[in-house]
Chain A
């Protein structure tokens, strides 16, 4: 060593310098070659191939933009997605993009990156986002999440057209054919005639399968019924209107009458009970996405062939279809915000939206009204056209609805998840309380939701 003038100390110092330079320059070299890494946590779709299309679209976009897109699918079974969101929000770490169920964007608005620029470009291309998407994802004038295609669903009427025709004299295929037009009897498809049909079907041992528990299927259809009567429980300023709004009493009286023609255990039904009721042939009508029909196609083809999807009955204030959207949000602590926005914009474009909806057999509902004409809704069957009227189309003269709107989201989410609307009905119809007692209870609960 002494011969070449290099001491041990010099050699070590030089070696350390080389290693340090290599380590420090590595990210730069990496960044020049690719656009970095984007970690996405999407909703684990009920339809298994629904995940495949998301994986394919992300890979396609990643290759094109030289971004390593890592995709995880987080199930909503056991509320795993809610727990993941809560954990990541608490720890300020995790994915860059997450799928947020209905009420979560509002709950985590402070921690979500505004996406007005993305929404602005999408709106310019495809027209306005539906009002419920805006109600749920726009906070203080800013969009905090993008209404997603994958996972967003509606819950219109899904019925056995043969049973309705036979027992209630209603031809739903004629009313709502698989075409952009309505047929005879549409103006009679209201809650009054629905009650008569419910009675006739109950007498024929095929009662309507309408859950009245605390799961979302129950809260959603009851929410749409309340809305079509004009029965808002909390107004947009957060004032509880349970007792001051006469429509609430009116819809409650109606619902109690309707309960007489439902199975006596609907108060314990979960989100699968109504599906089973239809698939097993025990029920003539439920309110659900076409996933029930898809299961019937596999397990009970004879039942599936006689199913038809069509809008909810109308009330004095109009016709409202339950809508349960998912959202794609970007955490404010993400280090890949530009890439995340670009990916979400790509996924929301018509071509990609149609790919998602098609792969999910028509289950996924895009947030733009201009995207209600995808081919899959015309061709899916048997019977062909069974889901043609699944998305809300202009000729339906219907609106999408989320229960407890237009209350401020932080109050509405509590009312929704604690099923105040279905419990009001159950308290009277099952618990034997008077309508006034039920109204008083609901008023106190909702007032407390607004406190604190």
Chain B
């Protein structure tokens, strides 16, 4: 708060006879609260209420007439398919995020070294997968993977290789889903990393070059530490989005074959909406929360620690 403002505050100090309401509305904390109120309302209505309602739903019985406490979680823990889903969601999210991060990092470096004029063109083209609505692009992938009429298999057959059951065999189906997720999500990493790369001071590279650092050493000791926070935040954000992914699995495999490609969201939809057991579906969805909370805790702690070190 500047001195001017303080002096204004002093001049506006309540005169004798002014109502307490006016004093209240002119208090800085009140103004701050009023200005954040719209945001608070949005958070309460669109985040807190649905989350609390989800927790409430997960405590109800199948007909939603009475509470069974943690009964739905107990039943889930006793269900083989659910543990498969936990395992698959972890494999899917971790593999896809690592692949997206590596590909995004590589693409960002490639782009960074292209002259600015040509860079814009490549940047636009590489962003296309991220810009297309995923449900639509996944449909395109589904046509390419189609069990009987796969265009990829047609190309494979030209070189005489046997057709691949992309969506029919569990291993291939898992790979197919991860490939689509990486295809959609890698451009996001690319653009974030590119922005981070552009903010690394050139002098650091010059200093490293004077010290005789190799290309790998410059990457290891200059680029990566300077990008660490962006990398962490991007990975965390992507992990959350990937864990909660629904459309790719729904369009490509519907969780099959034999439930071996289900992730939390697709399984929750199947249990909650399709099978008419909304409380148990809510319990499946909520199971993501502790996993992501732990991830978020460690990632954000790392970011805070690095910020303190840099200050």
**A410 on the B face (CB < 8 A):** yes
**A346 on the B face (CB < 8 A):** no
Q: How far is the CA of A372 from the CA of B114 in the complex (A)?
A: 71
The 8 Å CB contact of B278, one of A86, A266, A269, A416, is A86
B275 and A414 contact, CB distance less than 8 A = yes
**A302 on the B face (CB < 8 A):** no
Q: Which DSSP category, helix, strand, loop or mixed, fits chain B's interface?
A: loop
A426 and B257 contact, CB distance less than 8 A = yes
**A423 on the B face (CB < 8 A):** yes
**A300 on the B face (CB < 8 A):** no
B72 and A452 contact, CB distance less than 8 A = yes
- Of residues 259 through 286 on chain B, the ones whose CB sits less than 8 Å from some CB of chain A are 259, 269-271, 273-280
Q: How far is the CA of A103 from the CA of B72 in the complex (A)?
A: 22
Q: How far is the CA of A268 from the CA of B165 in the complex (A)?
A: 9
**A413 on the B face (CB < 8 A):** yes
The 8 Å CB contact of A103, one of B68, B256, B270, B276, is B276
B275 and A452 contact, CB distance less than 8 A = no
Q: How far is the CA of A444 from the CA of B76 in the complex (A)?
A: 11
CB distance from B204 to the nearest CB of A (A): 50
Count chain A residues whose beta carbon lies closer than 8 angstroms to a beta carbon of B: 42
CB distance from B154 to the nearest CB of A (A): 14
Give every chain A residue within 8 A of B257 (Cβ-Cβ): 213, 267-268, 426, 430
Give every chain B residue within 8 A of A110 (Cβ-Cβ): 63, 65
Give every chain B residue within 8 A of A83 (Cβ-Cβ): 273
**A427 on the B face (CB < 8 A):** yes
Interface size class, chain B: 35 or more
- Of residues 424 through 452 on chain A, the ones whose CB sits less than 8 Å from some CB of chain B are 426-427, 430-431, 441, 444-445, 448-449, 451-452
CB distance from A223 to the nearest CB of B (A): 16
A414 and B277 contact, CB distance less than 8 A = yes
A418 and B61 contact, CB distance less than 8 A = no
**Known contacts A264-B168, A267-B256, A267-B258; is-contact A82 B148 (Cβ 8 Å):** no
Give every chain B residue within 8 A of A416 (Cβ-Cβ): 275
A265 and B168 contact, CB distance less than 8 A = yes
- Of residues 147 through 167 on chain B, the ones whose CB sits less than 8 Å from some CB of chain A are 147-149, 165, 167
The 8 Å CB contact of A273, one of B61, B78, B148, B274, is B148
A269 and B147 contact, CB distance less than 8 A = yes
**A116 on the B face (CB < 8 A):** no
What residue in chain A is nearest B150 (Cβ atoms)?
A265
What residue in chain A is nearest B166 (Cβ atoms)?
A268
Centre residue among B63, B75, B81, B257 by max chain A CB count within 10 A: B257
**A177 on the B face (CB < 8 A):** no
Give every chain A residue within 8 A of B270 (Cβ-Cβ): 417-418
What residue in chain A is nearest B165 (Cβ atoms)?
A265
**A135 on the B face (CB < 8 A):** no
- Of residues 193 through 225 on chain A, the ones whose CB sits less than 8 Å from some CB of chain B are 213-215
CB distance from B42 to the nearest CB of A (A): 21
What residue in chain A is nearest B173 (Cβ atoms)?
A268
**B129 on the A face (CB < 8 A):** no
A276 and B72 contact, CB distance less than 8 A = no
A410 and B276 contact, CB distance less than 8 A = yes
CB distance from A154 to the nearest CB of B (A): 21
The 0/1 profile, CB within 8 Å of A marked 1, for residues 54-88 of chain B is 00000001110100100110010011110000000
A82 and B274 contact, CB distance less than 8 A = yes
**A104 on the B face (CB < 8 A):** yes
Q: How far is the CA of A103 from the CA of B274 in the complex (A)?
A: 9
The 8 Å CB contact of B254, one of A215, A276, A427, is A215
**A277 on the B face (CB < 8 A):** yes
Q: How far is the CA of A266 from the CA of B75 in the complex (A)?
A: 31
B253 and A451 contact, CB distance less than 8 A = no
CB distance from A312 to the nearest CB of B (A): 23
The 8 Å CB contact of A410, one of B62, B79, B253, B269, is B62
**B185 on the A face (CB < 8 A):** no
Give every chain A residue within 8 A of B273 (Cβ-Cβ): 79, 82-83, 86
Centre residue among A79, A268, A418, A430 by max chain B CB count within 10 A: A268
**A36 on the B face (CB < 8 A):** no
Give every chain A residue within 8 A of B78 (Cβ-Cβ): 444, 448
Q: How far is the CA of A143 from the CA of B254 in the complex (A)?
A: 33
B278 and A270 contact, CB distance less than 8 A = no
- Of residues 61 through 113 on chain A, the ones whose CB sits less than 8 Å from some CB of chain B are 79, 82-83, 86, 103-104, 107, 110
CB distance from A51 to the nearest CB of B (A): 24
**B255 on the A face (CB < 8 A):** yes
Give every chain A residue within 8 A of B65 (Cβ-Cβ): 110
**Known contacts A270-B254, A413-B276; is-contact A276 B62 (Cβ 8 Å):** no
**Known contacts A265-B165, A448-B75, A451-B75; is-contact A423 B276 (Cβ 8 Å):** no
**A263 on the B face (CB < 8 A):** yes
Q: How far is the CA of A410 from the CA of B64 in the complex (A)?
A: 13
**Known contacts A276-B149, A277-B148; is-contact A264 B275 (Cβ 8 Å):** no
**A282 on the B face (CB < 8 A):** yes
The 0/1 profile, CB within 8 Å of B marked 1, for residues 281-313 of chain A is 010000000000000000000000000000000
What residue in chain B is nearest A447 (Cβ atoms)?
B78
CB distance from B254 to the nearest CB of A (A): 6
A414 and B276 contact, CB distance less than 8 A = yes
A268 and B168 contact, CB distance less than 8 A = yes
A441 and B80 contact, CB distance less than 8 A = yes
Give every chain A residue within 8 A of B165 (Cβ-Cβ): 264-265, 268
Q: 3 tightest CB-CB pairs across the interface, nearest first?
A: A265-B168, A265-B147, A107-B276
Jot down 29 A-B pairs with beta carbons below 8 A, ordered by A. A82-B274, A83-B273, A86-B278, A213-B256, A214-B255, A265-B165, A265-B168, A266-B147, A266-B168, A267-B168, A268-B253, A268-B256, A273-B147, A276-B148, A277-B148, A282-B148, A413-B275, A414-B276, A417-B274, A417-B275, A418-B81, A423-B259, A426-B258, A444-B79, A445-B79, A448-B79, A452-B61, A452-B71, A452-B280
Q: Which residues of A contact B (CB under 8 A)?
A: 79, 82-83, 86, 103-104, 107, 110, 213-215, 263-270, 273, 276-277, 280, 282, 410, 413-414, 416-418, 423, 426-427, 430-431, 441, 444-445, 448-449, 451-452
Beyond A426-B257, A445-B79: 7 further Cβ-contacts under 8 Å?
A104-B276, A110-B63, A214-B259, A265-B147, A265-B165, A268-B147, A426-B258
